[in-house]
Structure 1
Amino acid sequence: MNNNYITVGALTRYIKYKIDNDVNLQTVYIKGEISNFKHHSRGHFYFTIKDEESRINAIMFASSTKNINFEPVDGMKVLVKGRISVFEQTGNYQIYVTDMTEDGVGNLYALYEKLKKQLASEGLFDQKYKKEIPRIPKRIGVVTAPTGAAIKDIISTINRRYPLCEVILFPSLVQGKEAKDDIVKNIKIADTYNLDTLIVGRGGGSLEDLWAFNEEIVARAIFECKTPVISAVGHEIDFTIADFVADYRAATPTGAAEVSVPSKEELKKIINQYRIRMTKNIKTKIETDKKYLNKIMDSYILKSPMSIYEVKEEKLSNYIERSKNVILNIINSNKIKLDSIKSSFIFTSPIKMIEKKYNDYNVLVNKLEILNPLNTLKRGYSITKKDNKVLTSIKNIKTNEMIEVNLSDGIINAKVNEIKEN
């Protein structure tokens, strides 16, 4: 058997010995992101520190954890100090942390990326929402610190390029915990001033100094602002969140002022373009009106002005004639109706009705007189009855029977002696 073979434990102890005695590994400073964090019941911290390239296990004993003033969590960026050694049981090398602090810049950048992704997904950065910056503004508002270099640069640049523009300052905090709320408040106030453009920004600084312009409430205030907004934040990273949301992003306050107003040379160019356009429009208008005037002058009406009167007179005469006919028709129609009503009234008058009824009465009386049996009797006729029944035939009577003869002036009771047949 080859005596050069050694055990795993021996190799691990040798590696541990070499690492423990390497002065470069006795005190190391590492920055990275915490993952797999566990807080042991005895107070120890077990976690992994990682970056884009690699990772290393870490342990921080309770004697050291009591000295930190924050609660570590997964995803937190940290700065750690410790020594490198080997855990013999697993053979893994790890860092034994003696001190740990938050990596402010790292954590802020993580928050920046998270908010950037969120707002982008909501569409706050979309080009379709970008408002056009007016080229010739009358009033420009500025939300920034009242005493910093930013406002001085903005005012001097605008006065140099376009002194006709009014600049209104909305003094605001631009750094610190209260800055975000102050910036939002002043953006909302400025939006009520009927401004042409609003510049929001400050001078340069560290990421922490500029962080107010990476706050969500500031981004949403810029997005909701009806006035076109130019962001002007000097910063170390490429863009702040405010830059993405703003209608236009300028790298510096001076750059924002230059974008917001035209230069004198640009004004001359714009004025010249307007002059050319106006001259062309005036010439076109003159030609159009000239043609129209010539058309009117050549018209039949102007050549024969009396024709207008004649036509109108004829129309008026026709109208009068038609109106006269209409009125006469109405009068005749009403006269016919009146005559009809009059005739109806005469026919149905009370006197006429009484006379008619009286005549009808006389006719009926005459008919009754003719039909009256007494009048018949007066002419020599009689009515013969037997047992109160009128006799109409000799077959209904016998000799020696009693009869009653009704005359016009009385009644005769008689006895039948003889019956003769006609």
Structure 2
Amino acid sequence: MEKKFNKVVLAYSGGLDTSIIIAWLKETYGCEVIAVSANVGQADELEGLEAKALATGASKYIELDLRKEFVEDFIFPAIKANAKYEGKYLLGTSLARPIIGKKLVEVAKAEGADAICHGCTGKGNDQVRFELAIKAFAPDMPIIAPWRVWDIKSRDDEIDYAEARKIPLKINRETNYSKDKNLWHLSHEGLDLENPANEPKYDEILELGVSPEKAPDTPTYVTITFEKGIPVALDGEKMDGVTLIEKLNKIGGANGIGIIDMVENRLVGMKSRGVYETPGGTILYQAHQDLEEITVDKYTAHFKQKVSLELADILYNGYWYSPLTEAINAFVDKTQENVNGDVKLKLYKGNIIEAGMTSPTSLYSEQTASFGEDDDYNQADSAGFINLYGLPIKMIAKAKEGSL
């Protein structure tokens, strides 16, 4: 016999999964369902959700505007760390799930709910990200994951379920890509993309921009200003993080920037192919990384590269709310104290080309690096340095020839 719940908070996006889950929860548990939508920058996808949720059985609809917090507490730390999963993925979905999970707990406590439900599949990463976030703030809260228990086996089955109950859907069987959209990115999975041999139908699936072939024949220049590793201005105009990313998404998308086709290693063990659109994020990562080249010393920069890989894995795997994440972010913040200045980039047909940068805290000395005369580098000193630095190699060579 199924456990009975009186009131369930549902993470509600209005997509295929959550569109049918309200009805399924009521049929299965006889419970009240509170649909909670998190605004993390998916814009028009939120339109009409309240009416739809209430019409399909929800007792209450709550929309949370999390954009500012999403940017400042999740996206900015990822930029400062240069965190990329497997060298390509800018963690668009991974960054959004922890804040949503945290807010679901806040709503559940405020509403007196006795369970939280999400629509993630049993094959994906998001189930882990949501549930670890929930456990971090409500360790004993029951979690309902329909995909792990119901009889529905495919997205076609879901559509059948919806049609039988006259639940409206925004997709059909032919355009049934699995998508996730927020301020930072848009992902595409499923259908023809499941076969890595297929070239993505970019002209059909892209929403945040165009393919490089359709980008303008003239370049676009942007200048981004950073303070302590955080982007604070675009082309000399100060603006908040949400606005800056929105503007860069439009500029980058129009120039074919930030399209990634990737087969990644999911946390649950399988490989998964997806296409990601991250135009603004790709520009910001490049600008930030460029600025670090002149503002961060060699040994800190090299060690930070190792830390960035570790943090990307941690975030991808859902461990945002952990002591290790806190410790790494504290280290990263220390490395960003001098990451200040302007970075100019040229955007052209999917390419980001460096076009100059300046910093008031730069470690680069033009006169020291010059091929001409300088005041603080004696070229004769390098002979002794090389002799000491190369001593181990010299000893190995002597041992091989028997002359030690």
TM-score bin, normalised by smaller chain: under 0.3
Greater Cα radius of gyration, structure 1 or 2 = 1
Q: Which has the higher contact order (CA 8 A, sep 6+)?
A: 2
Q: TM-score normalised to the size of structure 1?
A: 0.20
TM-score (ref. length: structure 2): 0.21
